[in-house]
Amino acid sequence: MPLLVLTFASNVIWTYVMPVLTPLAALLGLELAQRSAPPGPWRRLVNWLAGASVALVCAGAIAWGPLHANGSSFAAPVMAWRQQLPAQPGPLLYWGAKAPASLRFYSRGAAEPVPNLATRLDRLEAGSRVYVAIVPEQLAALRQMVLIRPQPLELAVVLRVKHAAIVRIARTLSAS
C-alpha cells in the first residue's frame, strides 16, 4: 500500500520512502530465496546470500540518501530567510506559478508564488526588500532582470544549496 501511495505522489521526499524500502527488500529477498532455491543443502546458502544482499542494499541506501538528497530541499534556504527577518524583514516569493512542496512546507505557507516577478519588482517601494526562492539555474536570469529595472535594485544571495536558493532583492533609497 505505501508503494502505491508514493508512486502517485507529486513530491516524494527520500525520508518518507526510506522506511518502506527495508521491509520491502526483506520480503522480496525471502520470497526470491524460497522460489529459486531447490530443497536441499543449497537452500541455506541461497537464503543467507539473499539476506546479505538485502542488508547490503539497505545499508547502501541509508548511507547514500542523506548525502545526495539534502540539496534538493528548501529547508536550509528557508531557515536562512527566517534568520534575516529580524534585521531585514521582507516577504518570501517564489519565482514561478506554483511553489515546490518543500518550500511550502518549510516556509509554513509563507512563500507566495509570483509568475511575473518583473512586475512585482517594479512595484517594490524605496527602502523595502523581498526574498525570492529560486532554483540555482534561475540566478543568472534573475540578475539580468534586476539589472534592467528602471530604478536601482540590489541583489544578494542569502543561501544557495544544490537545488535551491534564496536571494534578497532590495530597492535602494534614491539620492534625490
pLDDT of residue 176: 47
- My answer on whether 33 and 115 are in the same domain is no
Of 19, 44, 69, which closes a domain? 69
What is the phi-psi region of residue 12: left when phi exceeds 0, alpha when psi lies from -120 to 50, beta otherwise? beta
pTM of the prediction? 0.64
Q: Confirm whether 95 is domain-assigned.
A: yes
- My answer on whether 45 and 82 are in the same domain is no
Domain housing 157:
73-171
The residue ranges of the chain whose pLDDT is under 70 are: 1-16, 33, 37-39, 41-43, 64-72, 174-176
- My answer on whether 79 and 64 are in the same domain is no
Q: Confirm whether 176 is domain-assigned.
A: no
pLDDT of residue 32: 72
**Distance in angstroms (rounded) separating the CA atoms of residues 79 and 76:** 5
Residue 158: phi and psi, rounded to 5, are: -80, -50
Q: Confirm whether 88 is domain-assigned.
A: yes
- My answer on whether 33 and 82 are in the same domain is no
pLDDT of residue 154: 93
pLDDT of residue 120: 93
- My answer on whether 82 and 165 are in the same domain is yes
- My answer on whether 59 and 145 are in the same domain is no
Place of cell 517594479: 122
- The string of pLDDT tens digits covering residues 40-51 is 766 677 777 777
pLDDT of residue 15: 67
pLDDT of residue 150: 84
**Distance in angstroms (rounded) separating the CA atoms of residues 139 and 141:** 5
**Distance in angstroms (rounded) separating the CA atoms of residues 151 and 121:** 10
* Total Cβ atoms within 10 A of residue 153: 19
- How many folded domains does the chain comprise? 2
- My answer on whether 94 and 51 are in the same domain is no
pLDDT of residue 71: 53
- My answer on whether 93 and 134 are in the same domain is yes
- My answer on whether 13 and 57 are in the same domain is yes
Q: Confirm whether 130 is domain-assigned.
A: yes
What mean pLDDT value characterizes the chain? 81
Q: Confirm whether 123 is domain-assigned.
A: yes
The percentage of residues in the chain with a pLDDT greater than 70, rounded to a whole number, is 78
**Distance in angstroms (rounded) separating the CA atoms of residues 129 and 19:** 41
- My answer on whether 59 and 81 are in the same domain is no
CA dihedral sign, ordered 119, 120, 121, 125: positive
pLDDT of residue 6: 59
- My answer on whether 54 and 103 are in the same domain is no
